[in-house]
Amino acid sequence: MKDDGLPPPAPQRDWALFLDFDGTLTELAPSPDAVVVDAAMPRVLAGLLDGLGGAVAVVSGRPLAELDRLLGVVLPGAGVHGLELRERPDADVHPPVEEEDIALIERALAPLVAGDPRLILETKPGALALHYRRAPEREMECRAAMEAAFAATSGLNLIDGKMVLEVKPDHVNKGFAIESLLKVPPFAGRLPVFAGDDRTDEDGFEVVRALKGVTIKIGPGASRAEYRVASVEAFIDWLKEVASVLSDTG
């Protein structure tokens, strides 16, 4: 962690740009709905998308639908700290785990649940829960079935609740979101560049530094990021410069 850093390096065409929203693309506001997005932002972001082959994503704690509305342009992105992912502007929003892994557990548990109406299998986006509250004497069977099914998956966490066994995505944070997006086009094979201002962005900085990417902290405060931009205003100026350089060399 350090309190300063160099200005960001010159833009490269092979970058994959990941951008936090609040405190990075916009000034923080007294309430989340009160943020004001720079009028030039849709044009700047569209220019960046163009210059980087579509590899520009917003990575935020806000839902993607809200970011789309606030930004005035639809970007690839990760919403709700990575619980929502969208690889391309025209792609569906989905959770950050293999749907197939959830489906596999669902199929494995189906016979158990079908044989006892007191057991409830609850599916939700990217997660699944087996409730045995009404059949507590079957806990060991439920546990054995869930553990066997879970063992065949990856990227999930098994959580032992009160009369419920739940699988959820493991380690969902901005770092995991960036890693997930980097596995697929148009991000795969590009050098990650991540800019953020807050504590939750540090997970992203950690992942991007490990990949020898570019990490940019906006504003004051200790950070793992290598580079530093003093303010949102200065960062927007830098983004405009990046968009302009990329369009000149394209």
Nearer to Mg ion, 101 or 197 (CB): 197
Query: Which residues, 6+ apart, have CB-to-CB distance to 228 below 8 Å?
Result: 4, 5, 6, 7, 216, 217
Please report whether residue 23 would count as binding Mg ion according to CB under 5 A. yes
Position 20 contacts Mg ion (CB under 5 A): yes
Element counts in the chain: helices (H) and strands (E): 7, 11
Taking the complex as a whole, how short is the minimal distance between the CB of residue 155 and Mg ion, in angstroms?
25
Binding of residue 198 to Mg ion (CB under 5 A): yes
203 is an interface residue for Mg ion by CB under 5 A: no
When the beta carbons of 150 and 235 are compared against Mg ion, the nearer one is 235
What's the one-letter identity of residue 79? G
Q: From 78-86, 128-136, 152-160, 194-202, give the range in contact with Mg ion by CB under 5 A.
A: 194-202
User: Catalytic amino acids?
Assistant: 20
State the minimum distance, in angstroms, from the CB of residue 199 to Mg ion.
9
Q: Does 197 bind Mg ion (CB under 5 A)?
A: yes
Among the listed ranges 22-30, 121-129, 167-175, 181-189, the one in contact with Mg ion (CB under 5 A) is 22-30
CB 44 within 8 A of CB 243: yes
Using CB under 5 A, which of 8, 19, 22, 207 touches Mg ion? Answer: 22
Strands (E), 53-119: 56-59, 77-79, 84-86
User: From CA 17, how far away is CA 186, in angstroms rounded?
Assistant: 11
Going through 62-184 in order, the beta strands assigned E by DSSP cover 77-79, 84-86, 120-124, 127-131, 156-160, 164-169
Q: Which residues bind Mg ion (CB under 5 A)?
A: 20, 22-23, 197-198
